Structure formats: C-alpha cells, structure tokens
Amino acid sequence: MSESFDVIVIGAGPGGYVCAIRAAQLGLKVACVEKRETLGGTCLNVGCIPSKALLQSSENFEETKHHFADHGILVDGVKLDLARMQARKGEVVGANVKGVEFLFKKNKVTWLKGAGKIVAPGKVEVAGQTYDTKNIVIATGSESMPLKGVEVDEKQIVTSTGALELEKVPGHIVVIGGGVIGLELGSVWRRLGAEVTVVEFLDRIVPTMDGEVSKQFERVLSKQGVKFKLKSKVTGAVKAADGVTLTVEPAAGGAAEEIKADVVLLAIGRRAYTESLGLEAAGVAVDERGRVKTDGHFATNVPGIYAIGDVIAGPMLAHKAEDEGVALAEMLVGQAGHVNYGVIPSVVYTWPEVASVGETEEELKARGQEYKSGKFPFTANGRARAMGSTDGFVKILADKKTDRVLGAHILGPDAGTLIAEIAVAMEFGASAEDVARTCHAHPSLNEAVKEAALAVDGRALHI
Ligand code: FAD
Ligand code: NAI
C-alpha cells in the first residue's frame, strides 16, 4: 500500500518547496512532487538565480572594460570567456538546488519524483503510484507566453530559458516585450557585446511601474545603448540559416517594417502552467486566464485542494509565492497565516536597478487618493557619487492628510536592497516623517531614502 500524507504539494518552486518546509516544521507529514530533475522550480533552475548570476558576471565585465579606468585602474586586453561565465552560472544554480534538497532531508519532506496528477480529491498519482493525502497544494508555477507567428525553438527564437543558455554573443538580439525579462536579459547580452533592440507594444517600458520611473529608466537604458521601438508589435518571424527576419508594425496599425536579428527573445509575459494536472477531472475551477481560482485562504472550489504562487492570480514573483506557501501551511494547522498584497516589493535587476513597493502615482490618482510626493536624486548622494553611479532617484508617496507612506519607487544603485526599508516601514504603517526621523548611516545610499522622506514635507537637506 502507498504511503499517505497530511499534505502533498505539487511543484517544488519557491511557492511549493517553502510551503512543504513550513508545513513540515509545523508537524505535518509532507510530500512534494517535482517532475524536474532538480528542486527549486523556475526560480532556481531557469529564472531568478541563473539570470542574476549572468547579470552579475556581465556587470563585472562591463565595469572592467568601460568603467575601471574612471577609478584609475587600467586593465589591458579584457576578454570574455563565455563558456566559463555559463559554467559559473551552472555552479550557482547547482548550489542552490542542492540546498533545497538538503532542506527537504533536514525537515523530512519526501520528494516524490515525477509528474503529479490529481486523480480525485485526496489522491495524487506520481509515476504510476497513487498516494492518499488530506490536503493537496497546487504550486505548478508558470510558463512563457507564446506569440502567434513567432515560433520558439530555443536556439534562434528563444524564451528566457534559451536566452540564459546562449553559447555565443549574438550580433543583434531583438527582444519582444519591454518588461522585466526583456530588460534584464537584454542588459546581459548588451553588456557582453550584442546590439539590443526592444520591441514593446505599449508606449512605455515596464508599464506597470510608476510612469516617471519607467520614462527615466528608458532614458538610462538608451544611454547604455539599448534601442527601443515602442508602440510596436511583431506580427511575423521568418527563420533562415543566417538569422531571423521579423515583421514589425505600429501597434495602432500602419506600414510594417522588417528587422533582422541573430536571436529573438520572446518575453511578453508568463501564463499559469497546469498541463496534465487533472484539474478538469477533479473539478478545480480556473479563471479566464487559466489561473487556478482561489479564495482569500488559497482554497480552490474543491475542498482539500489549495493553490499558491504563479499558478494563481497576483504578481508572478518568487517572494510572493514563498509568502503564500508559508501562510497556507500555517492556515492548514489552524494558525492565522497572512500575506499583505499591498506591500510586495518588485525589483528589476538591471544597473541601475528599479524597485517599487505599494502604489504608483497613476494608481493613487485613479482611485482619487490625495497624496504628497518627495523625491531625491542620486546625483546629490555622496555614496552614489563615490560609486560613480548617480543615475536615478528615490520617490516616496504619502497620504496628504495622515502622511502614511503609500508607495515608494526607486531607480538607482542597489534599489532592490533600498526598497526593503520602505517595505518594513509600510508594514508598520509608518509615516514619511517616521522614515525621515530615523537615523541613517553616512555615507550610505539609504540616505537618499531618508532625504526623499524629508522631501515629502518639503525639507530635504541636501538639495
Ligand atoms: P515555479 O517556480 O514555476 O515552480 C513550479 C514547479 O512545478 C516547476 O519546477 C515545475 O517543474 C513543477 N511542476 C509543474 N507541474 C508539475 C506536475 N504536474 N508535477 C510535478 N511538478 C510539476 N521572480 C522574482 O521574484 N525575482 C526575480 O529576480 C525573478 N527572476 C526571474 C527570471 C526569469 C528568467 C523568470 C522566467 C522568472 C523570474 N522570476 C523572478 C519569477 C519567479 O521565477 C516565479 O515567480 C517563481 O518561480 C514562481 O514560483 P512557483 O513556486 O509558483 O512556481
Ligand atoms: P512582463 O509582464 O514583465 O512584460 C511583458 C511586456 O511585454 C510588457 O511590457 C507588455 O506590454 C509587452 N508585450 C505584451 N505583448 C506584446 C507584444 N505582442 N509585442 C510587444 N510587446 C508585448 O513579462 P516578462 O518580462 O515576460 O516576465 C514574466 C514574469 O516574470 C513577470 O511577470 C515578472 O513578474 C517575472 N519576472 C520577475 C523578475 C524580477 O522580479 N526581477 C525577473 C524576470 C521575470
């Protein structure tokens, strides 16, 4: 007879593996099903971690080649060893996925290897065996969104997965989609020597970010050499031995043009992944975009079946998936698990980085919220000057009447680290005045956050 469990989690990405570990910590008997050879999901294998490894390596290359001389460091004959760079990325990924395997052993989570299928409520089939369980957690993640007329082969026309594996620097890479993946991986290959053109359907890049940030971000990336074709759509791609010819049209209609590329990166978003999971047979409802429908407690319409992470609604971010995993595990043992969706930071790991938390100016205006805005540029921050990284600014938005922080938007060095301060402030319901009156170390980039908080009240000191 097969083993039975309190919880079977399907999918070992950041949502699933964290949920499994937390549930085991809370005393439940847990299994996690994963069909990939290694644990960690999209994030550790083909997402967050390998992309950040290549971003770091390519940034080091660019710094050495173009910016060390500014510091009086002269390096001759800087060369790229792409094979070594890719191998290092593999080592970083390997250490991370092995780490999850270790954590499973430490917490006595059983890894059921293979594809999981829900055969009935309380029954999951893996590799021909059926396991009984009191609860099922769907954490099967997402996959790259396809585009009609642009057929992915992961060699000439790639998704992020292929773009992380290129063995040679393309002459010209055309990125379809000016979102997070396009700009991060576009930056990697530009720094390594490719010409990069980004084709974006809307009139601005990273369209969900604060408008002012997205405009200045585009300027900074353009200065670095990335070319943008906004308000444009790709309507066809023809492959030949020497490259791909794309047909690009204005989004609003009009004359088409042809663009030649050595590699095309398709990055127009991701969609929930539920293939062969048995949702229909189990009667689990999905929404119009194929995402598993859940209530405020991650419960689907079928008792005992829950879902978290990219496969449900909300931002497709690893930390959002993780926090949902923890909250659900706690709810399953009767605790009050909770995710505050108003305070989920979002970071684009280019250089400079872009980071935001809370509402944008556009969102505040749309809901008629009166607000004050405080801004401080990195050109006026001593540490940023010392680093030679003065592009960008910190913007803090606060309630006009109560001064409570409603959002923060940062374009600048280490913005992804700086934003954490505001996330904590928002969790504690802090006012801009609270942030402004907190002592910040000097000289630090964080002083730009303090100054932006002072600027909310019109009293920044260094500008
Ligand atoms: P996933 O990580 O997608 O994991 C789902 C797992 O389920 C997969 O391993 C899959 O094999 C498995 N699975 C699916 N179906 C079955 C089945 N039937 N049986 C068994 N196993 C199954 N987010 C960030 O927050 N920061 C970043 O810097 C970042 N960078 C990214 C870079 C790239 C290139 C990409 C593509 C994504 C990035 N993301 C980033 C997004 C992040 O990877 C996802 O939000 C996150 O992985 C979602 O976690 P998840 O657990 O919901 O799903
Ligand atoms: P995205 O949603 O960030 O960006 C897609 C972009 O493509 C948008 O700007 C959109 O307007 C544009 N677009 C859509 N259809 C188009 C078309 N036909 N032609 C031209 N442009 C079109 O999606 P992306 O970059 O694919 O990333 C997927 C998800 O992965 C994101 O939701 C993100 O949350 C996650 N991710 C997060 C990272 C991070 O946190 N640093 C890094 C990489 C991915």
- Write out pLDDT tens, residues 138-176: 999 999 999 999 999 999 999 999 999 999 999 999 999
- Residue 357 confidence (pLDDT): 98
Task: State mean pLDDT over 40-62.
Answer: 98
The stretch 94-116 carries a mean pLDDT of 98
pLDDT of residue 117: 98
Contact 419, 319 (CB under 8 A): no
Residue ranges of E strands in 114-153: 116-120, 123-126, 129-138, 142-144
* DSSP 8-state secondary structure symbol assigned to residue 150: B
> Does 369 have pLDDT greater than 60?
yes
* Cα gap 372→379, rounded to integer Å: 22
pLDDT of residue 99: 98
Express each pLDDT in 114-131 by its tens digit: 999 999 999 999 999 999
Q: How far apart are alpha carbons 82 and 374 in whole angstroms?
A: 43
Average pLDDT over the chain reads 97
Give the residue, by CA position, lying nearest to ligand 2 atom 35: 316
Q: What is the pLDDT of residue 1?
A: 57
Atom of ligand 1 nearest to the CA of 126: 19
Model confidence pLDDT, tens digit, residues 176-233 = 999 999 999 999 999 999 999 999 999 999 999 999 999 999 999 999 999 999 999 9
3-class DSSP assignment, residue 40: coil
Q: What backbone phi and psi angles, to 5 degrees, belong to 167? A: -95, -15
Bond before 352 cis per omega within 30 degrees = yes
* Banded pLDDT at 96 (limits 50, 70, 90): very high
Q: Residues 415-427: pLDDT tens digits?
A: 999 999 999 999 9
**Least distant ligand from the CA of 232:** 2
Give nearest CA residue, ligand 2 atom 3: 179
Average pLDDT over residues 21-44: 98
How far apart CA 356 and CA 360 sit, in angstroms, is 8
**Percent of the chain clearing pLDDT 90 (strictly above):** 99
The predicted structure's pLDDT at residue 317: 98
Token representation of residue 199: 């084709």
CA of 194 to the centre of ligand 2 (A): 21
How much is the pLDDT for 2?
Answer: 76
Where does 33-175 have alpha helices with state H? 41-46, 48-62, 82-106, 160-163
The CA 447 to ligand 2 mean position distance, Å, reads: 31
What stretches of 224-317 show up as alpha helix (H) in DSSP? 279-282
Q: Which ligand is nearest to the CA of 16?
A: 1
Q: Is 440 a catalytic residue?
A: no
Q: Per-residue confidence at 411, pLDDT binned at 50, 70, 90?
A: very high
Q: How far is the centre of ligand 1, averaged over its atoms, from the C-alpha of 392 (Å)? A: 30
Do residues 375 and 455 lie in contact, with contact meaning Cβ atoms separated by under 8 Å?
yes
User: Looking at residues 100-121, what average pLDDT do you find?
Assistant: 98
Q: Which of 66, 67, 338, 442 is catalytic?
A: 442
H-type helices in 107-210, by residue range? 160-163, 180-191
For residue 187, how far is its CA from the centre of ligand 2 (angstroms)?
Answer: 15
> What pTM was estimated for this model as a whole?
0.98
Going across the sheet that includes 257-261, the strands are: 232-240, 243-250, 257-261
CB contact at 8 A, 330 and 337: yes
**Tens of pLDDT along 379-397?**
999 999 999 999 999 999 9
